[in-house]
Structure 1
Amino acid sequence: MGIKSGLTSAAVLAISSGTSFAQSSVTLYGVTDVGIEYLSNAPSANGGKNLVRMSSGNLSTSRWGILGAEDLGGGLKAIFQLESGIAVDSGSNNGGSRLFDRAALVGLSSQKYGTLRLGRQTTPMYDLSALLDPMAISVRYSLYSSDPIVTGRADNAVKYNISFGGLTAAALYSFGRTGAGEVPGDFRIDRNIGGSLYYQTGALSAGLVYDEFQGSTIATQDKKDRRLLLGGTYEFGSMKAFAGYRWLNGSANGNVRSNLYFTGLRYAATGALSLTGAAYYTDTRQSNADPLMLVASADYAFSKRTDAYLTLGYVRNKGGSQLGLNGFNATSGSPTSVWPGSNQTGAVLGIRHKF
């Protein structure tokens, strides 16, 4: 949801130069999402302890942003986006030293020729995962918990999207996804490439995406993490079924090979109430460390902008795995994982407003 300022370039430029050009618009938008979370077996200095806390960004990351577009004629538009994450519980900036940690880009858009964006932006892996994950890669208890790279963003990135009827294709190239690249003579350092295909017809949709990035130092530039994700959805009546698979072969951040399977069902119980159930199973290759995460969520919309939700989660760890409802392998004192060797139960009750 957004509130358009209704600015024309004539008004904008009248402030700076008194000259008018083609029509343009600027949109201020955002999400505030905060709730109370309970976690069992959260890591502490002396073992796993129960934790109750206020958590910001549960179904959606709390954020604000600015979108802009200028009509250049002939169906061509100039576009820009600036977006910053917010920790609503404390009022701080999620991005640390970054003001616009979520997006900072400019580009050109054409209905006929597609859209080209340059700057910090989401990867095709992120864009497709949000469509195929039953929990829409929500911050709390979703596909993101099992593999945070599915919500990847890349610095120094060029991304191109184009649609042909029901088919949408995307490609991305980053010269340094974390900002560590762009080194003279070593173009592979921190390089990120990706591409996706997504097809939708009637009740059925299916997608395939590939993501690859190199190590972020001279010593690790020949190492890479490669991911392939595919999945689909099918709507029948008031229900929508989800199923997907993610393959990982990685060496850039340690040697990791795994298969991740996920499935779920979303049910529109009424015009306001939506129910979702999902399961995520990680098969770690050459290991018995294979955790299972189960999630159930209820979302009630008071209006188009405001909703309340309750999300419940359970993780069963196996063979030494350390998956928490909010991620893998956190250090002692961090609530984002689970105490080693333990299972975890969690719940988050919150409210979200979009503007």
Structure 2
Amino acid sequence: MKKTLLALTTIALSPAAAYAQSSVTLYGIVTGNVTYTNNVQTAATPTGGKPTGGGQVAQFDSGTSGPSSSRWGLKGTEDLGGGVKTLFVLESGFSVSNGTLGQGGTLFGRQAWIGLTAPNYGTASLGRQSDAAVDYVSPLLYAWYFGNLAIHPADYDNLNFTHRINNAIKYSSDSFGGFRFGALYSLGGIAGNFTQNQYWSTGFSYTGPSVALAASIINARNPNNSLYGTNANASATGNNLGSAGSATTPASNPSISGFASARSQQTVAVASTWTIGSAILGLAWSNTQYRDLGATASLNAQNYHGTASFNTVGASVRYQVTPFLRVGTSFDYTNGGNLNGSGGARYEQWNLGAGYSLSKATELYATAAYQHASGVDSWGRQAVADIGYLSPSTTSKQLAVSAGIKHLF
């Protein structure tokens, strides 16, 4: 009888012993802000016309995509022995203003992956993940520290982590003397066409005592689906880059949405920072090419052909005034949508930011951005200013100011 009780006790306790090597953590960010914009359009007229609206607007908005946006998640590990571990992350973006899901209503729209890691061998993972541009270049950028207003037009280079990659196989190395590298490949999932909708990226970063450097390259086949069409509300046949707007709705991402017919998109990005005392100086450059325009005829309203190219160069300064107060400023210049070497639009944007820590977990922050646009946008219209995730202006200028509170848990 005693032996039987001992055996039953051992069996009952064995799951507890197995799970003792596992851990699951609930984490997230809750952030909310009030944003004032001096000019937003309410409708967009046909090519050659002028958008209507132009009124001032104040809105409660936290965004759901950027590095500081509201989200909650679960991450876990299990020790398999010999330093080998199983990892997983499930992360969901949401709007703190109304509680709705981000990423087009995708439940775990920010991240959903599982993988294995081992000392000196790095991490291999499968699922919905970030690409190499986000992993290596983005953390060096001003927008990573001071929010969504400072992103490049329509986040065309995905350096603000607007888009996630589905069906992805990814490898990330450990750090070797400050040097890290990695690569990602996404399966297209199209029967009979192995390369349709495929996506690949690779990159590296080096972090030293005072200098950091990173570079990446991404390539998306049929980017309208493989990059911009990865959320739950994406269209299988419609334009996922944005829209030209209508007599009753404003334009969406007018800087790039006219290029949805591209067969492929390639983006190269480079960034570097220098730390001097309490100051961080930064430089960055990115180039995106929407190649073979017209490959999807139903999305080529402008009858484009060839390649549209975007370049952005930026400089920034960030300064830790006290252990609790940080400030920063940056300037970005984008020469966007040059089609076969001619035309296109230009966007000049100044950014300011400040953050004051009330504790290790809670911060008050304020950001501001001013953008000036010129030239012709992707729909062949006079370019208008279009800051961050806000609605475009009716004119070439737009000013936005935002203030809020952020809490980490």
TM-score, length-scaled by structure 1: 0.86
Residue 29 of structure 1: which of 19, 27, 41 is its match?
27
2:384 corresponds to which residue?
Answer: 322
Contact 2:77 2:86 in 1 (8 A): yes
Aligned partner of 1:354 in structure 2 is 408
Task: Within 5 Å, give how 1:1-355 maps onto structure 2.
Answer: 18=15, 20-21=17-18, 23-45=21-43, 46-57=52-63, 60-136=68-144, 139-148=147-156, 149-150=158-159, 151=161, 152-162=163-173, 163-175=175-187, 181-215=188-222, 216=225, 223-251=263-291, 255-284=307-336, 285=338, 286-287=342-343, 289-319=345-375, 320-327=382-389, 335-339=390-394, 341-355=395-409
Mapped to 1, the partners of 2:261 and 2:34 lie a distance apart of 42
Q: C-alpha displacement at 1:342, in angstroms?
A: 2.6
Counterpart CA distance in 1 for 2:210 and 2:284 is 17
**Contact preservation (8 Å) 2:385, 2:396:** no
- Do the aligned partners of 1:38 and 1:51 also contact (CA within 8 Å) in 2? yes
Contact 1:41 1:342 survives alignment (8 Å): no
Shift of 1:337: 2.2
Per-residue CA deviation, residues 56-107 of structure 1 (Å, 9 max, x unaligned), is 2387110000000001111110000000001000011113442100111000
CA pair 92-221 structure 1, distance change in 2 beyond 3 A: closer
The Cα of 1:138 is off from its aligned counterpart by 5.5
SS class of match (1:318): strand
Q: Is contact 1:120–1:155 with CA below 8 Å preserved after alignment?
A: yes
Task: Verify the 8 A CA contact 1:212 1:227 in the aligned structure 2.
Answer: yes
Higher helix share: 2
**How far does residue 129 in structure 1 lie from its aligned partner after superposition?**
3.2
Cα deviation, residue 42, structure 1: 0.6
Quote the Cα distance in structure 2 between the aligned partners of 1:104 and 1:242: 31
CA contact (8 A) 2:151 2:388 kept: no
Report SS of the residue matched to 1:345: strand
Quick check: which has more Rg, 1 or 2? Answer: 2
3-state SS of 1:87 partner: coil
Which one-letter code corresponds to 1:280 in the other structure? D
Q: For the structure 1 residues 59 and 98, does the alpha-carbon distance in structure 2 shift closer, same or farther, using more than 3 Å as the test?
A: closer
Q: CA deviation at 1:135?
A: 2.2
* Shift, 1:309, TM fit: 0.6
Q: Is the 8 A contact 1:223 1:252 kept in 2?
A: yes
The residue identity in structure 1 corresponding to 2:408 is K
Look up the SS of the partner of 1:291 in the other structure: strand
Structure 1: where are the runs of 5+ without partners? 1-12, 176-180, 328-334
Which 10-residue stretch deviates more, 262-271 or 48-57?
48-57
Structure 2 unaligned regions, length at least 5: 1-10, 44-51, 226-235, 238-259, 295-306, 376-381
Q: Deviations over 1:196-249 (max 9, x none)?
A: 01111110011110000000489x998210000012000000000010100111
**How far 1:123 moved relative to its partner?**
0.7
Match in the other structure for 2:242: none
Aligned residues: 328
Q: As a proportion of its length, which structure holds more strand?
A: 1
1:283 deviation in Å? 1.2
Q: Percent identity?
A: 30
Counterparts of 1:192 and 1:211, CA distance in 2: 7
> What is the rounded CA distance, in whole Å, between the counterparts of 1:111 and 1:310 in structure 2?
40
Which residue number in structure 2 is paired with residue 4 of structure 1? none
Relative to structure 1, the CA distance from residue 242 to residue 348 in structure 2 (aligned partners, 3 Å threshold; closer, same or farther) is same
Moved more, 79-88 or 341-350: 341-350
